[in-house]
Structure formats: structure tokens, C-alpha cells
Structure 1
Amino acid sequence: MVERDKRQKFEELAEKRVNKAIKDLRLIGNLSNRNNYSFDDSDVRKIMKALDDEMKALKGRFAQTRPSDQDFKL
């Protein structure tokens, strides 16, 4: 029963948070309208780097495997 409650809570929160993140990303995308905003390539790179860095951190938190302690071999 407890495991099911955890699953239900995960699904509920995941749906809400992912939908909010998608909405917020679309709002960030709206900033690309040069008729309404002034920005340069440096600004865009900073935004993309911040989002990419956060996605990498997110993927790392969900990763099931840990780095191997074995030596590298070709």
C-alpha cells in the first residue's frame, strides 16, 4: 500500500511539475521575438547554458548507474 501511495504521489507531482516546466520553457521561447525584445547572441548563449546545465544535473539525479571503477580500455 505504501509503495502505491509513493507511486501515485510521484505521478501526480511529475505531471504537474513537467507541465509547468514545459509552459515556462515556452514562455522563455517567447523572448526570441525581436519585435518585442532586444538581446544579443551572448544573452542567448547564457540562457541556453543555464538550461543545459540544469538538464544535465536533472539527468544525473535520475541516472540508475554510477560511474564504473574499472580502468578504461579500448
Structure 2
Amino acid sequence: MAKEKKEPKLEKKTKQEKFIELAEGRVPKAIKQLTMVGNLSDKSKFEYTDKQVKQIYEVLHTALDQMKVRFEDGEAKDETFSCPDNT
């Protein structure tokens, strides 16, 4: 008869431990992505209008505000972003 392998019991993480683990992974990724958006400001590589920059500021500010609301009192709707053309 074959021996059954006993899998080690995985300790169930607390909600606090899961929060910390996910936050420590997600926050640095969000910061990196914001840095990459900031890299778009290099005028030697990119051309953009003040209107486009303002829209980026506004959509990021809105997303941050929505995240704050979710921590304070519940869910917020997701937003999508589309950069206006150069007109």
C-alpha cells in the first residue's frame, strides 16, 4: 500500500496579515506606475498638450480620492482613462 503524503497544514492568515501582505506588494507597484507616468513628461521624447496633462492630473486625483473614500466608507466605482487627442 502506498504511503499517503501528508501536506503540511497551512496556517490561515488573519485579515490583518493578508492586508499587510497585499498592501506591501501593491503600494510599491502603484508608486512605480506613477513614476512611469511622470516619465512621460520628458519633452525630448514626447509631445503633449496642457489639456492632456491636466486630464492625467484630474483622473489620477479622482482615482486617489475614490481610494480614500473606499477606506473611509465603502465602495467606489471604477473609472477608465482615455487621453484626449491634440485638438
Unaligned runs of 5+ in 1: 65-74
Runs of 4+, deviation exceeding 2 Å = none
Matches within 5 A, 1:15-54: 15-54=24-63
User: What is the identity percentage for the equivalent residue pairs of Structure 1 and Structure 2?
Assistant: 40
Larger relative contact order, structure 1 or 2 (CA cutoff 8 Å, min sep 6): 2
Corresponding residue for 2:20?
11
- Output the aligned Cα RMSD: 1.7
Q: Which of these two proteins has the greater Rg computed from alpha carbons?
A: 2
| Structure 1 CA distance for aligned equivalents of residues 31 and 59 of structure 2 | 16
| Structure 1 CA distance for aligned equivalents of residues 23 and 66 of structure 2 | 17
Give, as a single letter, the amino acid of the residue that structure 1 aligns with 2:53.
V
Larger proportion of helix: 1
TM-score of the superposition, structure 2-length normalised? 0.67
Q: Does 1:56 align with 2:49?
A: no
TM-score of the superposition, structure 1-length normalised? 0.78
Unaligned runs of 5+ in 2: 1-10, 74-87
